[in-house]
A and B are shown apart, each in its own frame.
Chain A
Amino acid sequence: MSILLTQDTRIIVQGITGNQGRFHTRQMLAFGSRVVGGISPTKSGQMVEGVPVFDTVRQAVDATKADASIVFVPAPYAKDAAFEALENGIRLLVMIPEHIPVQDSIDIVARAKALGATVIGPNTFGIISPGEHTKMGIMPNHIYQPGPIGVVARSGTLSYEIAFSLTNAQLGQSTVVGMGGDPVVGQTFITVLEHFRQDPDTKAVVMVGEIGGSAEEEAAEYLETLGKPVVAYLAGRAAPAGKRMGHAGAIIERGRGTLESKEQALRAHGAEVVTMPWQVAEAVRSVMS
């Protein structure tokens, strides 16, 4: 089983004729994702990897009954693409681009909330449900395997590192969700954990966080409601205050967003907090036994 994304999810790719869109459409199809269409204005009638291309989301939705979209357009055009998807009935929206202006993200997230749609990202690697053989994202296909562990992460490569270590320890994943590295993103740890709570096949959850903001602190209190074991690993112990560590959102500002306060809050509410990424799999094994 999985959360948010299943084999029935019908996916379109906005920006399918670009390099990224094309490459990842192929990868998604190889993993088993039901990619039913792509969008690229003035390119309708073309095929990309056997997938029909449309000029508008409306045409694609009419022709394919798509209900989810993954966006690969450059950041300055991302707000337009997101609104086009939302206004045409897309209810699961994965925003891959980095460097989308925060004001645009605020508008996208607010509109999605009003329409009851789910936004993953921006600046995310996406979402993958190995047991359902489907993904919407840019993560490598070979590092996942089906299983009972839910993973929610802020960062891409670090989550790959951890997912692969779980796979190597025979701890498969139900769904892996990338929230995104920007200051304003569609999901919080709490919204994703709530989905994991409702999924009977998710038996334990791994949280991969980092410095900046207070998403981890906010999530801590929710862990008791979750009622499933949680292992947390957070990056940024060695990060100085006031410096952006790559992600726009990874910054300790005016004394807020430190690792210490996050780890303390998570521990206080029952999470098993490990300090190095290679300790995650062992900790998951122990909380599950």
Chain B
Amino acid sequence: MKQYEYLAKGTLKAYGIPIPPGQLVRTPEDGAEAVATIGPAALKAQVLVGGRGKAGGIRFAQTPEEGRRVAQDMLGMDLKGYTVELLYAESKLAIERELYISVTTDRNAKKPLVMASLAGGMEIEDVADDQIVKAYVDPAVGVLPYFGREVAAALGLEGTIFKEFADLVVKLYQIYREKDAELVEINPLAVVDGHLVAADARLNLDDSALYRHKDVTVVDEGSALERKVHEIGLAYVELDGDIAVMANGAGMAMATLDAIQHFGGRPANFLDAGGGASVGPTAEALGVLVSMHPKAILVNIFGGITRCDDVASAILQVKQTTGIPVPLVVRLVGTNEKEGVALLKAAGIEAYSEMAEAAEQAVRLAKEAM
């Protein structure tokens, strides 16, 4: 889960990392007040989309009056599909140079990875490999002060900046561990008046660890529909096609989307109904798909732990309540297949046994519905 910039900055501050003076702006008056307090400022839209600056999500104000006007313009604006409801005004910095520092999890090494560079201010993916210092952390040891000094030395830093940078590495790792972060990144890490300041920050937290961080503000970046399905506890991603999909298991759900595309169709969503879902949640999930008014619905179940008769019961339940007014294609194999197929047949629904045939049929029906 990504955190808004102002929340990420708040976390850095709590760990003693210097951040520029800043305050939240919810109204045009706040905008004027912010500039009056902190002086010339950058007003930044608090949205979780990349390329915020280029899309017009960062603007500057020299005077309180300008602060009011800019806030007025920005609040309520649409930024890549997200409505801007909150701004963060931050003191404009006289930056001497820009560095980069992050701590993240390296999936292949299965270890925390510290990355640092003198080439800050651009995406780290665009920085040449030989300009990045990479240092893996032994999780059983953690990051001691010497580790920070080694990274600072590898960058060729000296004097005050050397000391501040080494200290920053230790603190950043503390945040990564203690807050269960997937990524904590300061970019650019600015040098202002000869000292380090976190000019921009990213903090992505591990969804699976939220249970032990009651103080964290939960931000669901999903669309309204995505948020609704997430609330029933299922993995759901909205896509731009017209064939709604339900499958059991993440891999199967992905493969089902691929199959629809393979036959020339366009999937409307990713929905993993779970590896062993029972009647209730399955019916609820299917209900959501029906409410999307797709051109067709494809249900693809390989019953392992999931029982085919449970899935069939869920389908019949939804058929009873909504009538399922769009073409429905069901592929049902595995545990209790005979019972499930018989239940559907009695209600006039023919189940497929082959995934390929079912996907092809769903695409055909969706095209006919146009």
Contact = CB atoms under 8 A, between A and B. Distances in A.
Interface of A: 75-76, 99-107, 109-111, 114, 125, 138-140, 143, 153-161, 164, 181, 183-185, 188, 208, 210-211, 213-215, 218, 235-240, 243-250, 254-255, 275-278
A251 to B, nearest CB: 10
A240 B208 CA distance: 22
Contacts of B334: 140, 143, 160, 164
Q: Mostly helix, strand, loop or mixed at chain B's interface?
A: mixed
A138 to B, nearest CB: 6
B259 A276 contact: yes
Contacts of A278: 354-356
A181 B208 CA distance: 13
B6 interface: no
A153 B254 CA distance: 14
Nearest to A113: B110
A160 B275 CA distance: 11
Contacts of A143: 304, 334
Contacts of B335: 140
Nearest to A153: B251
25 contacts: A99-B208, A101-B208, A102-B208, A103-B209, A110-B140, A155-B249, A155-B251, A157-B249, A184-B107, A188-B108, A210-B254, A215-B107, A215-B108, A235-B251, A235-B254, A235-B258, A238-B260, A240-B239, A244-B235, A244-B237, A246-B253, A247-B251, A250-B254, A277-B259, A278-B355
A159 B208 contact: no
Contacts of B123: 254
A275 B356 CA distance: 12
B339 interface: no
Given A238-B239, A246-B270, A138 B305 contact: yes
Contacts, number: 174
Contact of B208 (A75, A140, A213, A215): A75
A158 B255 contact: yes
B251 A140 contact: no
A238 B258 contact: yes
Contacts of A102: 105, 180, 182, 206, 208-209
Given A111-B140, A158-B249, A236-B258, A254 B270 contact: no
Nearest to B259: A276
Contact of A103 (B206, B252, B304): B206
A161 B270 contact: no
A125 B275 CA distance: 10
Contacts of A239: 237, 254, 257, 270
Cβ-closest 8 pairs across A and B: A155-B251, A246-B250, A157-B249, A158-B251, A101-B209, A238-B257, A235-B254, A246-B235
Interface of B: 105, 107-108, 110-112, 123, 125, 138-140, 177, 180, 182, 206-209, 211-212, 235, 237, 239, 247-255, 257-262, 267, 270, 272, 275-276, 302-306, 333-335, 354-356
Nearest to B355: A278
Contacts of A276: 255, 258-259, 262, 356
B255 A213 contact: no
A236 B254 contact: yes
Contact of B107 (A160, A183, A245, A254): A183
A137 to B, nearest CB: 10
Contacts of A156: 249, 251, 275, 304
A161 B110 contact: no
B233 to A, nearest CB: 11
A135 B333 CA distance: 22
B112 A214 contact: no
Given A235-B254, A276-B259, 19 more contacts: A102-B182, A103-B139, A107-B140, A140-B334, A143-B304, A156-B251, A156-B275, A157-B251, A157-B275, A157-B306, A160-B302, A210-B254, A238-B258, A239-B237, A245-B270, A248-B207, A255-B125, A276-B258, A278-B355
